[in-house]
Structure 1
Amino acid sequence: MLPRPLLRSLLAAALYSAFVPPASAHFQEIIPSADVLPEGGAVNLDLVFTHPFEGGPVMDMKRPASVGVFAGGKSNDLTDRLVPASTDGATTWKLSYDLPEPGAAIFHVTPQPYWEPSEGKYIVHYAKVVVDSFASGEGWDEMVGLPVEIRPLTQPTAVWTGNIFSGVVTKAGKPVPFAKVEVEFINDKGIKAPNDAYITQVIKADANGTFNYAMPTAGWWGFAALLEADQPMKSPEGQDVPVEEGALIWVNAKPMGQ
């Protein structure tokens, strides 16, 4: 039998944890001004680290470790094109890029690790988005070669609302069985969730690392496969802590008949 004071302490801790609201999901956004450029041309991208459905809070982003674009079988570093910006008083980033040739351009960002004290871990979300120049329909399934990455099985630049988006979660180029995938909508429509469980949708990949999700409304949807890094990092206090590596892809669903 446990001593009564210890029993009371354990009970209080259990009750506390039962009523503490779940931490909001972090998503690294890399959102273009358009996902299809029918005549080619310039595209602007906004890089924001936030909670998309709730519209914030926006976290300060250090200058990303790297930003690039993969197009025509080649990768170009765009880190020197980054321009600091501000969203809700937090540091965010912008860049512009011209796409004069047909084909898919896959923009991607590797942020610096973000320390989340409430979860006792670092977060590194490798995020990407496809922009199709001249509506070519080509190259959208190419892989950038990120440490963790989602391979799209559905053309992400031609998705109607209600279509199913499918992808494969990979780590070091290999599928990750039963990976957890969080899904959030950039809620610029003021949609009210019935309860907190609806803010971040959670699905699991199958034994081959494949997941499927039907987007119920038009707009930008983020798919974040969350995996633990092989190596820990040192916390600000010098302790070994886990690192959450996120494989993110952003997909824009279009309304039919509008």
Structure 2
Amino acid sequence: MSRVALLSLLALLALCVPAQAHFGMVVPDRNIVTKDGPKAFNLDIRFWHPMENQGMDMAKPKLEVTGKGKPEDVSASLKPAAIDGKQAWMANYAVKAPGVYMFTVTPQPYFEPSEDKFILHLTKTVVSALGGEDGWDKPLGQKLEIVPMVKPFALYAGNVFTGKVLHKGKPLANAEVEVEFFNADGARKAPGEAYVTQVVKTDGAGVFSYAAPWAGWWGFAALTDDDARLKKDGKDKKVELGGVIWVYFHPVAGK
């Protein structure tokens, strides 16, 4: 086979390989902090393919927490972590008062050569502390975000998670929402490539629903093209904007 033919074949094969879904991640080791338990917990922060448990290097992001009041920048708490040879981050946070705490991660834009565009995922999760349960449905004002429409820290496996996608504060209709399970221990095996990333779409009001088939952490990533462009090698490149939320589904007793 000639060199030209070989290169053409390799390019064709590259186009045939399904693109893996990228997910910003912020996963606490507990999403409910009880009055009689430890008040501190850890946050696992990555840029990852959750179901396949494969990752990319993540430059240091910005970490904020919103409780009762304005967002607080807690990026100083970030500690570097190497996971499977990839750069990730960890943070420890201790609650001091009852309430609902929303943790948001704003990464540095990641350039994906295979898609010739930047990826910017604005990622959040919700923690209930010391009996506080008010405010979990409040938007944070991110450029793209998923606002939960069911209490996001008290779901059983099999429950339906419903969220509303807001883009610049307005519902985003007919948008794709990618869904993946965080397969941390590799115990789950997808029966085929199509099952790795589940996809649902929002309705005219920006609302979507998904029933998690088993317990664990599930990520929901609403996607749209940003109206901004970023430079790469002197050229303007598209930006995929993602609004991501991580939700835990608790095991059902007796199953």
TM-aligned CA deviation for residue 233 of structure 1: 1.1
CA distance in 2, matches of 1:18, 1:78: 40
TM-aligned CA deviation for residue 100 of structure 1: 1.8
TM-aligned CA deviation for residue 17 of structure 1: 6.5
Among candidates 43, 51, 54, match of residue 52 of structure 2: 54
**Structure 2, unaligned runs of 5 or more:** none
**Secondary structure of 2:194 counterpart:** helix
Q: Hey, what does 2:240 align to over in structure 1?
A: 244
CA distance in 2, matches of 1:94, 1:214: 29
Amino acid at match of 2:125: V
Amino acid at match of 2:39: G
CA distance in 2, matches of 1:18, 1:84: 32
Alignment deviations for residues 7-41 of structure 1 (CA, whole Å, 9 cap, x no partner): xx9xx88x937971211001111010100011261
Alignment deviations for residues 205-255 of structure 1 (CA, whole Å, 9 cap, x no partner): 0010000000000000000001111011112x2221110110000000011
**Secondary structure of 2:139 counterpart:** coil
CA distance in 2, matches of 1:228, 1:20: 23
Alignment deviations for residues 155-189 of structure 1 (CA, whole Å, 9 cap, x no partner): 11000111000000111111101111000001135
CA distance in 2, matches of 1:17, 1:167: 37
Deviates more, 1:166-175 or 1:74-83: 74-83
CA distance in 2, matches of 1:139, 1:50: 28
Among candidates 80, 92, 109, match of residue 84 of structure 1: 80
CA distance in 2, matches of 1:189, 1:102: 35
Distance 1:189 1:136, change over 3 A: farther
Alignment deviations for residues 113-163 of structure 1 (CA, whole Å, 9 cap, x no partner): 001001100000000000100132222112222111111001110001110
**Structure 1, unaligned runs of 5 or more:** 1-8
CA distance in 2, matches of 1:126, 1:119: 19
CA distance in 1, matches of 2:145, 2:14: 34
Is this contact kept in 1: 2:52–2:186, CA < 8 A? no
Amino acid at match of 1:212: S
CA distance in 1, matches of 2:190, 2:80: 32
TM-aligned CA deviation for residue 62 of structure 1: 0.7
Q: Hey, what does 1:141 align to over in structure 2?
A: 137
CA distance in 1, matches of 2:121, 2:131: 28
Query: TM-score normalized by structure 1?
Result: 0.90
Are 1:70 and 2:50 an aligned pair? Answer: no
Among candidates 201, 204, 208, match of residue 201 of structure 2: 204
**Secondary structure of 1:80 counterpart:** helix
**Secondary structure of 1:248 counterpart:** strand
Query: TM-score normalized by structure 2?
Result: 0.91
Q: Hey, what does 1:193 align to over in structure 2?
A: 190
Distance 1:18 1:44, change over 3 A: closer
Q: Hey, what does 2:34 align to over in structure 1?
A: 38
**Secondary structure of 1:143 counterpart:** coil
CA RMSD between the two structures? 1.8
Q: Hey, what does 1:159 align to over in structure 2?
A: 155
Amino acid at match of 2:41: V
Alignment deviations for residues 70-109 of structure 1 (CA, whole Å, 9 cap, x no partner): 0013311111111111111111111111112111100000
